[in-house]
Each structure stands twice: as C-alpha cells, then as structure tokens.
Amino acid sequence: MTIKLYELAGIDKSRPFSPHCWKARMALAHKQVEVETVPVGFTAIAEIENGGQTSVPVIRHGEKVIADSFKIALYLRDAYPDRGDPLFRGEGSIPLARFVEAWSQSQLHSWIIQWSAVDIHAMLNAADQAHFRAKREKQFGRTMEEVVADREGRAGQLRQILTPIRMMLAHQPYLGGSQPAFADYIPFGALQWLRICSGLAMWDRDDPVRDWFERLLDLHGGLARSVPEASR
C-alpha cells in the first residue's frame, strides 16, 4: 500500500527542503516503501488531512495518519519489520537517535537557520513569506537580513559544530555502524536543508563528514541528490 507523505516546499514544488521531511523521506526509502509525495507550503499545513496539523512531515497509510519524523520512523519499524534494513539496531539505538536529534536541533539547526533564513524566504510565495518572516524575526529579535549580514564570518563554525559526527566517523562509516540507520538521517536532513536552500560552498570538501554526507546523497538510487544543490 502506498504511503502518502506531506512535505514542505516553496514555490518550486520539486524542491522539498524541510530537514524533518528529509528524515522521513530517507526513512521511507530505507524501508523500500512506495511513496506518494504531496508538497505543501507553510500556510497550507493546517489544512492537511482535514485540518489539525501544525507541522510536517505527515504521512497517511490506510486509515492511519502520523505526524513527526521520529514517530514516522518508529511506525515504519513496526509496520515493516522484515522489509529493507532496520532503521534502529539494538536496544540502545532509539535513545541514541533521540540524543542525535536533540544535538542536531539545538546545534546544527540553529546555525543553519541563521545562515539560510533569507535564502529560505526567497523560495516561498507571498503568504508563506509573511508567515516565515514573522515567526523567525520573533525568534531572532531582529530582522532576517540583520541575522545573515555577517554569515560569511561564521562559515567556519559549521566544521566545529560537526565535530561529534567527525569523531564518530573515525571509528565507523555511519552513525548507525556499518550501515546507515535513522540516526544518520537526522543530521543528514539538516545538511540537506542547507544544501537545497543555500548550497554548500561554506563547507570544506576535505571534511570527513562531507564524505559521509555525499554517500548518503547517493543512497536509495540518489534520491536526495536528485534535488539539485542551490546555486548561491
């Protein structure tokens, strides 16, 4: 049965960019599930599945509607135990993935939004631009333009933020061990967000984390690489 995935996109519906939606996309591909994608803008999220949703990703699978990328991954684990590779391996893999998610959202996401805010805004229609600007400027306490004005001077911070991943990759090819797992898709989703919205010119190509990211771009038939990098 096909799973319907609602994911965030701007004016160009072929460029879904949400880090959380990319976690779900990669998890669905990992479990070899047939997917129908439905792109939505920020202001259309509340209308998904007859209303009541506040964020994406959201999936519909038969009669079930599930929101939140981590809940989706857990659902896929239970719904498809024998299909594809496991998203979680071993008793401690779910708490580990929760820790990776907390680190990614508190460290990596905060740096990316302060780099990419204006680029994301430019991808949106007028209604979504107004929504996005109001939300982010309330969060920042200043305009988006002020936030990104000195971003080039902060480029080196990305390598520092990625240090925990770099140290782990010194011992194994993926966060999940010998094969990728949901823990890999969490920071991958954040970096794919950056790639699609702003490009990766600020990220050193000799960084071992960059090699890990490039390998994940090529997974599942190049699913993530099929969305071109921003040209900025």
Q: What is the mean pLDDT of residues 58-72?
A: 98
Confidence class for position 43, pLDDT limits 50, 70, 90? very high
**Total of domains in the chain:** 2
pLDDT of residue 91: 87
Question: Are 76 and 185 in contact, with CB atoms under 8 Å apart?
Answer: no
Q: Please check whether residue 229 lies inside any domain of the structure.
A: no
Distance between CA atoms of residues 152 and 76, nearest Å: 40
Question: Helix 19-30 vs helix 69-79: angle between axes, to the nearest 10 degrees?
Answer: 10
Q: What pTM did the predictor assign? A: 0.97
Whether residues 18 and 67 share a domain: the answer is yes
Domain span holding position 32: 3-79
Q: Please check whether residue 88 lies inside any domain of the structure.
A: no
Question: Are 22 and 193 in contact, with CB atoms under 8 Å apart?
Answer: yes
Whether residues 48 and 19 share a domain: the answer is yes
Whether residues 61 and 98 share a domain: the answer is no
Q: Please check whether residue 232 lies inside any domain of the structure.
A: no
- What HEC string does 25-84 produce? HHHHHHCCCCEEEEEECHHHHHHHHHCCCCCCCEEEECCEEEECHHHHHHHHHHHCCCCC
Distance of CA 168 to the CA centre of its chain: 20
Q: What is the mean pLDDT of residues 119-146?
A: 99
Which of 65, 80, 102, 115 lies closest to 183, judged by CA?
102
Distance between CA atoms of residues 111 and 124, nearest Å: 21
Q: Express each pLDDT in 162-217 by its tens digit.
A: 999 999 999 999 999 999 999 999 999 999 999 999 999 999 999 999 999 999 99
| pLDDT > 70 fraction of the chain, expressed in percent and rounded | 100
Given a cut of 70, whether residue 232 has pLDDT beyond it is no
Whether residues 53 and 153 share a domain: the answer is no
Whether residues 15 and 117 share a domain: the answer is no
Given a cut of 70, whether residue 89 has pLDDT beyond it is yes
Whether residues 107 and 211 share a domain: the answer is yes
